[in-house]
Structures are given as structure tokens and as C-alpha cells.
Amino acid sequence: MTRKKTFTFIDLFAGIGGFHHAMHSLGGDCKLAVELDDACRLVYERSFRKDDADFVLLKNIREITRSVIDDETSLRSSEEIGVLVPDHDVLCGGFPCQPFSKSGEQAGFRDRTRGTLFLDILQIIEAKRPGYVFLENVRNLAGPRHTETWRTVVESLAAQGYRVLKTPLVFSPHFLPPDLGGAPQVRERVFICGVREDLEAKHLLDIAEFNEALREKRFWNPEHWSISDYLLADSKIERLEQYKISSDEETYLEAWNYLVENIASETLPGFPIWAFAFTEVPELRDSMPTWERTFLEKNAQFYSEHKSFLDDFLKMKWGAKSMTVNDFPRSRQILEWQARRRHPSRKGRTLRDLVIQFRPSGIRVKPPTYLPALVAITQTSVVGPSLRRNATKYRKLTPVEASRLQGIPDYVYASSPVSDKDAYKQLGNAVNVGIIKAVASILLRIDHGHLMTLTDEQLQLNV
């Protein structure tokens, strides 16, 4: 339910509107959005049709910050930007993060961030002085390889008169309970939170404060998720055929499922099972990296322990093309079994009630609890038929199902104006609505149900 409008915000690098969905639900009124990608902008515009004549949706942030978009020397003045950007309380953005300059310690923020889109954000902050800055980026921004970049972001905001959450706040939706907008997807992102200094008396801002707020209630155990709860019935999916996997992919899974269900081993290996390495003596080379040598040795031992079964398995022919497993593409001769929690023993073991990814590194199978992060490439998760009522075939997640993992309402992709390929790309790049809502509710002091307890390790906070 949307709250009464209590604050205004702008949405930079808006994508398909993850920030907008979250902030709107907390009582925010969006005054300006900017998104470069045409397909994303189409989805955004259809999602947030507004009667407010003041609302503006722009394509390029540099329409605001430069008089000539491609000319770095044509930066607009704060006065000019102030006219172009509406007044707002919160500046939001999932900004792209290009490498920053390694200028000397005395360099100003313009020199240190020149040529990057973060400079454009700083120009708007300098011109409009919003009360709050709320930015999102990939987990790696807070990693050891990007220490200088993180320091530049924090110091640049501090130079503008903002108290900033200096220790990275890293968060993932699979630790949020469903009633607070959590979702079964591992999606670690870092959040940059800043409060204008004159608001500091009312709004203390540090990691300890965020941590305390997040400890108030309960910890959601991610093993309690069930992907089945997020899946559409096959009978409700238009054009169902396009979400079914290829006949070759069906063949690969049929073969590996035979091994999973029938091999006389109480447990399956945690290392990748390599069918091409089923030999009693591993074929090792002096120049071979340690990890490859280790996997070859372990597969040779696995083969020796189950030689009779595996010899028969390698001779079997599968699918319409009568392929043996060694006829499969190299990456499909690899099974990465990561479903021990679902099937700790041989009893009932199968691929049909698991989540599967066809990856360059192999066929990865996981329990149907929470999924790896959606990514902006063709690597859509596949769900087994036993996870859906009256289903018999494996199929990919639909865009609507993927959008549920991001907290995006069904209507956005139920009648999508873009192709499925674009939809998957958009969702892979999107922010998770539940996480944005949870962090924003603390930053802005808005009651958001009851925040749960997380440990420092789960939050990856350094308190």
C-alpha cells in the first residue's frame, strides 16, 4: 500500500525503476528520473505514468550537467543546474562506477572524478543540496581492489557537506523476511548513505546505528525460502514453449539425472564431476594449475570407486541424436552438484526438484531455496518440473518470475513493451526493491514494519 506523500526524490540512472517502486511505497514523490537505455526508459515510463506535470523523464544526465553532452569542458554552473533540476529531499541512484583519477591528495573532487558519471551526481548535489543522498553499487565497489574509489566517493560527498556512512553497508535480499520485501536471491550490493550536515542533530548516521536498527526484531533464515512460491503455474504462462529448454539441454539433464538417481553412492561429490576425466589414472601435465590437477585426481578416484556403473553410463546413448555423455559439449560433461542440503543422501535424489544453471563452467544444480544473483547475460535459471504443479518439463524462469525476485510488481512484465531478452538484461541490472525500501526506511526514519535481526557476519558490517 502506498503511503501519503511525505517527501520528494529524484531517480538517477533509474533503470526500470527499482528505486522508484521502493521510495514511492514509503511515501515518496518522484520529481525527476534519468535513464539512458531506451528499452529501460520505455518500461519505466509505462510503470510510472504520472499526471504530475512537473515530473520529468530524461535520457541523459549530461543534458543537465553539461551544455554540450560530449564536451567535458562545458560543465554547467550550479545556478544553471538548479533551474533544470526540481527541488527534492532525496537524491537516489544506482550509478555506474568508472575508475576514478588517482590524483594527488590535494586534488578537488572535480579533478578526482572528472570524466565519470559520479561527477554529474556531485554537480547536482552541489546545486540542489538535497537532505539525503542514497546511492547503490555492486559489492566490489567496497572490495579491496577499489579502496581508492570508495574513499573518493565518501570524501567527495563529505566535501559537499554530507555526513556519510563511511564503512560500506553491504546487504542482500535473501536475508530480509518476505513480509519486509525480502526475496530468495543472493544479491549483495553496497549502499552509500549520506545526510546533509545541518540535519545531523536529528539524524545520526553510522554503521552502529544501522546495525542496531537491523537487529531490532529477527533474522530470516535463507534456507526457509522456497522458489516454488515465486513460480507461475505453467497453465498461466502465455507462449510457454519459448521458456522450455532445448532438446539438447533436456538430453544433458536426462543423462545426468540417471547418474544422480542410480549411482550407488550415499552422497555425491562436492567437487565438479567431469565425465571426460573418468579414468583410473589422471592425465596430469607439469604445467597444469593446482586446481585442475586436484579435480582430475578426485575424478579419477571417483571413477575408480564406481568403475562398473560409470563404464556403463559412458556407453549409454541419450536423446534423439543418440549421444553419449562424451559427445556432449565439454561444459555439459560437467556436473556441479550443490544440492546436498536438498538431498543429503541417496534416498529420493533427483534433478527434477532442483534449480539448474547451464553455465560455461558446467551444469550447476542447487536446492530450490534461494537463487544466485540474476545477471544481465543469458544465464537464466532453470526450474525442475517437480517444483511446479502438474509440470513435466524443465523450463526457464519467465520475466515475471524473475521480476518477483527483484520485488518488481507482476504488471511490469506481464504485458511487457520489451523483448524477453531485454527484460532479462534489465532485471539483471536492476536494484532489489525490498532492500532499497529497508535501507531507505532507516535512513529517512520511516517506519517499515519491523526490521529483523542480522548478525554482523550476515550483514558483512564492521561495527
Distances (CA, A) of 428 to 187, 339, 373, 376: 10, 24, 8, 4
Closest Cα partner for 265 from 366, 354, 344?
344
What span, in angstroms and rounded, lies between the C-alpha atoms of 401 and 425? 14
What lies within 8 Å, CB to CB, of 147 at 6+ separation is: none
Q: Which long-range contacts (CB under 8 A, 24 or more apart) does 115-118 make?
A: 115/72, 117/13, 117/61, 118/153, 118/156
pLDDT of residue 97: 66
pLDDT of residue 117: 87
DSSP string, 244-310: BPPHHHHHHHHHHHHHHHHSS-SS--SSPEEGGG--SS----TT--HHHHHHHHHHHHHHHHTHHHH
DSSP string, 379-446: ---EE-GGGSTT--S-EEPPHHHHHHHTT--THHHHT-SS-HHHHHHHHHHPPPHHHHHHHHHHHTT-
For 91-143, what is each residue's pLDDT tens digit?
999 987 665 544 444 444 455 555 588 889 999 999 999 999 999 988 888 77
Cell of 454: 542480522
Q: How many helices (H) and strands (E) does the chain have?
A: 16, 14
For 135-193, what is each residue's pLDDT tens digit?
998 888 877 777 888 888 888 999 999 988 777 888 888 988 888 888 999 988 889 98
238: helix, strand or coil: coil
Burial of 278 from C-beta contacts in 10 A (0-12 / 13-18 / 19+): buried
User: For residue 134, what is the DSSP state?
Assistant: E
What span, in angstroms and rounded, lies between the C-alpha atoms of 94 and 430? 9
133 bridge partner residues: 91, 194
Cell of 107: 586534488
With bands split at pLDDT 50, 70 and 90, how would you rate the model's confidence at 378? low
What lies within 8 Å, CB to CB, of 3 at 6+ separation is: 25, 26, 27
Q: Which amino acid is at 110?
A: R
Q: Which amino acid is at 231?
A: L
Percent pLDDT > 90 in the chain is 61
What lies within 8 Å, CB to CB, of 330 at 6+ separation is: 276
Q: What average pLDDT score do residues 328-347 get?
A: 96
For 13-67, what is each residue's pLDDT tens digit?
999 999 999 999 999 999 999 999 999 999 999 898 765 667 889 999 999 999 9
CB 423 within 8 A of CB 280: no
138: helix, strand or coil: strand
Closest Cα partner for 222 from 270, 189, 178?
178
Q: How many CB atoms lie within 10 A of CB 68?
A: 10
Q: What are the φ and ψ backbone dihedral angles of 363, each rounded to 5 degrees? A: -90, 110
- Looking at the chain, the domain(s) classified CATH 3.40.50.150 span 7-225+428-459
Closest Cα partner for 259 from 271, 273, 246, 243?
273
Just list the catalytic residues.
97
Which residue, chain included where needed, has cell 520475466?
399
pLDDT of residue 121: 94
For 400-428, what is each residue's pLDDT tens digit?
999 999 999 999 999 888 999 999 999 99
463 pLDDT higher than 60: no
Cell of 189: 550490493
CB 189 within 8 A of CB 432: yes
For 234-285, what is each residue's pLDDT tens digit?
999 988 999 999 999 999 999 999 999 999 999 999 999 999 999 999 999 9
For 446-457, what is each residue's pLDDT tens digit?
754 433 333 334
Q: How many CB atoms lie within 10 A of CB 54?
A: 10
What span, in angstroms and rounded, lies between the C-alpha atoms of 176 and 196? 28
DSSP string, 45-79: HHHT----TT-EEES-THHHHBSSTT-TT-BPPHH
pLDDT of residue 172: 87
pLDDT of residue 434: 92
Which residue, chain included where needed, has cell 542482500?
172
- Tell me which of 195-199, 410-414, 443-447 is least confident: 443-447
Which residue, chain included where needed, has cell 527483484?
406
CATH numeric code, 7-225+428-459: 3.40.50.150
Cell of 152: 573518493
